Chains A and B, each alone.
Chain A
Amino acid sequence: MKRSVIWAIAQKDMKMITSNLQIWLPMIILPLMLGVVLPTALLIALKSSDLSSVKGIETFLNVVNQLPSGALQDKFDTLPTTNHKLIYLLTNYTLAPIFLLIPVMVCSLVAANSFVGEKERRTLESLLFAPVTVKELFVAKVLAALLPALALTLATFLIYGVIVDALTYSLFGGLIFPNWNWVVLILWVVPAISLCTILISVLISARVKGFQEAQQLAGVIVLPVVALVVGQGTGLLFLTPLLMGVIGAVLYAVCAVVLPRIAKLNDRELLFERQVH
């Protein structure tokens, strides 16, 4: 595999993202809304209101009190007021799945565009006529989606962290973010879910005709993540670092299952006959 070739294609693809409004606009807006605007607004609202007088807060507290004893329960016992508890829960748990949603969205957008886009622009032919192996092409396409996804997620994570700690420092007298959950999430689960999304998208892209279709199908991957967000939001699912580790491992396993299917596409003729014309 020639690194210079892989990098040339990946670089070209990443540059192309910026020239396609249909792609970069949602890529910027979603992380900005979910990772910056939403938490800021929520934190400001929570800090300025007395939650113990809010109706229905008992139900919430009941849920919290029924948590299995462990690190989270211990932590909760140390927090003095409902506001503290709610803010801690929100910043460290409820909003966490946003950081799964961002890489999934970025990856499915970019990956769906990368193969189908070459076909629609009739440039895939040029790539297949060049002394570039199909493997190099695939690796380049995966990198072109993976790198922006990881970069954007990490950037959002850092901004989110600064906002959370800045807004809660005075209340807690210390930093409440991040905890171990986040370390596992960002370093283990985010790359796993990104890779998984890309591989599935590539598989889809190689079979469909247009960009829109590829994106719609790729939406199938977003749905489970949305389910996870809803689950997390209702407080039914409290992820522990261990559980996160398991989820990451499952995702890597899915990648390992998808990879041989993609390897079957690793054939110039097949790719050419399906994609060019």
Chain B
Amino acid sequence: MIVAEGVQKSFQGRTILSDMSFGVKEGEIVGLLGPNGAGKTTTVRLLNGVIRPDAGTIRVGGLDPVTEGDPVRAMSGILTEGAGLYHEMSAVENLRFFAKLYGVKRADSRIHDLLRQFDLQAHRDKAVGQFSTGMKKRLGLAKALLHEPKLLFLDEPTNGLDPDGIREVMGYLKELNREFGTTILLCSHVLHQIEEVCTRYVFLDGGRVIEDGTLAEIEAKYLRTVTLRVETDLIVAGGQYAGYEAVRQEQAVEFALPSKDVIPGLLRQILQEASVYTAEIVNRDLETLYFQVRREHQ
């Protein structure tokens, strides 16, 4: 669906993307991750053909966004960071306006469905200027989905949403992907929120893709020490247990292990002398991996 190869872009003498290559297959939900200024927003703009790359090739749905920008934009939906809605206009007026721009057929029933979907029916005639950030985000998402795009770009979709809102939006994206096979490219720097929805991640730093893969792939590559947190009444002395580093932390003990494979043996050994309530690897969440990847690429 998306192919970017050797893409370079500088703006006012500052290099934003130095050599970016990555791909997104149809039906994937890919998280584009990186710190502020890594080039996430620039990437989305390039993919939509609103700015041109200095070098490299980009294909979106087989089309070149530079020369065939309008067809690319017609099949894509986008939620920009600022949502880009008209504050003087009501929710319904905004959606009607964008429905016309995107040539949506049977717009009224589509708008009605989306407003219900995003729980905005009660505010349909209220000026968007009076909306909370979360409501604006939801309306922005509804706007992005008006024309049932095959490809959805979301720039910081969870900014300004409360935990309930985040869960709802993420749940909706998953459903959208499952039901309609919508390909989603999601930019974010709040990692734990997107961990559940993304099928794959692209790590961007300093204008380059530094890592690319599924969580399992990245974990296999970067998780060299497994931190196992065991809730137990085991007595640990001298910071060591069974030859592994072990630190007592209130109810639990954290073990630093060379690999996952030693866990069953370790647990068996503990169980012979103490009780075990839970055991969990705590350093393989996206956030930990993200920092690990960035550390190793500095």
A126 at the interface (CB under 8 A from B): yes
Complex formed: what's the CA distance from A268 to B98 in Å? 19
Complex formed: what's the CA distance from A133 to B97 in Å? 16
B5 at the interface (CB under 8 A from A): no
Residues on B with beta carbons closer than 8 Å to the beta carbon of A268: 49-51, 69
Residues on A with beta carbons closer than 8 Å to the beta carbon of B74: 131
Contact between B52 and A269, CB atoms less than 8 A apart: yes
Complex formed: what's the CA distance from A182 to B51 in Å? 48
Contact between B97 and A122, CB atoms less than 8 A apart: no
- Do A5 and B45 form a contact, CB below 8 Å, given A122-B82, A126-B84, A272-B51? no
A41 at the interface (CB under 8 A from B): no
Residues on A with beta carbons closer than 8 Å to the beta carbon of B101: 5, 8-9, 127, 130-132
Question: Mostly helix, strand, loop or mixed at chain A's interface?
Answer: helix
Complex formed: what's the CA distance from A45 to B27 in Å? 78
Chain B 58-97: CB-based contact to A (< 8 A → 1; otherwise 0): 0000000000011101100010101011111100000001
- Do A126 and B51 form a contact, CB below 8 Å, given A12-B86, A19-B88, A131-B73? no
A81 at the interface (CB under 8 A from B): no
Complex formed: what's the CA distance from A2 to B45 in Å? 23
Closest B residue, CB atoms, query A127: B101
Within A104-151, which residues are at the interface with B (CB < 8 Å)?
121-123, 125-133
Contact between A125 and B49, CB atoms less than 8 A apart: no
- Do A126 and B100 form a contact, CB below 8 Å, given A131-B71, A268-B49? no
A74 at the interface (CB under 8 A from B): no
Interface residue from A9, A121, A125 paired with B87 (Cβ < 8 Å): A121
Residues on A with beta carbons closer than 8 Å to the beta carbon of B158: none
Complex formed: what's the CA distance from A269 to B42 in Å? 12
Residues on A with beta carbons closer than 8 Å to the beta carbon of B143: 126
Contact between B51 and A273, CB atoms less than 8 A apart: yes
Within B105-159, which residues are at the interface with A (CB < 8 Å)?
143
B258 at the interface (CB under 8 A from A): no
Interface residue from B45, B85, B86, B100 paired with A272 (Cβ < 8 Å): B45
Residues on A with beta carbons closer than 8 Å to the beta carbon of B11: 273
Chain A 252-277: CB-based contact to B (< 8 A → 1; otherwise 0): 00000000000000001100110000
Closest B residue, CB atoms, query A12: B97
Complex formed: what's the CA distance from A269 to B50 in Å? 6
Contact between A123 and B100, CB atoms less than 8 A apart: no
Interface residue from B52, B86, B102 paired with A123 (Cβ < 8 Å): B86
Complex formed: what's the CA distance from A9 to B102 in Å? 12
- Do A130 and B98 form a contact, CB below 8 Å, given A123-B85, A123-B86, A273-B11? yes
Complex formed: what's the CA distance from A55 to B234 in Å? 115
Closest B residue, CB atoms, query A123: B84
Closest A residue, CB atoms, query B75: A131
Within A42-87, which residues are at the interface with B (CB < 8 Å)?
none
CB distance from A152 to the nearest CB of B (A): 21
Complex formed: what's the CA distance from A272 to B70 in Å? 15
CB distance from B7 to the nearest CB of A (A): 15
Contact between A129 and B80, CB atoms less than 8 A apart: yes
B239 at the interface (CB under 8 A from A): no
CB distance from A138 to the nearest CB of B (A): 15
CB distance from A155 to the nearest CB of B (A): 24
A4 at the interface (CB under 8 A from B): yes
Contact between A125 and B100, CB atoms less than 8 A apart: no
Contact between A126 and B73, CB atoms less than 8 A apart: no
Taking A16-B86, A129-B80, A269-B52 as known contacts, 5 extra A-B pairs with beta carbons closer than 8 A to each other, sorted by chain A number, are A8-B100, A127-B101, A129-B48, A132-B101, A272-B51
8 residue pairs bridging A and B, Cβ less than 8 Å apart:
A4-B103, A5-B101, A5-B103, A20-B88, A121-B87, A126-B84, A130-B73, A131-B70
- Ranked 5 nearest A-B pairs via Cβ: A126-B84, A8-B100, A131-B74, A131-B73, A19-B88
Residues of chain B whose beta carbon lies under 8 Å from any beta carbon of chain A: 11, 45, 48-52, 69-71, 73-74, 78, 80, 82, 84-89, 97-98, 100-103, 143
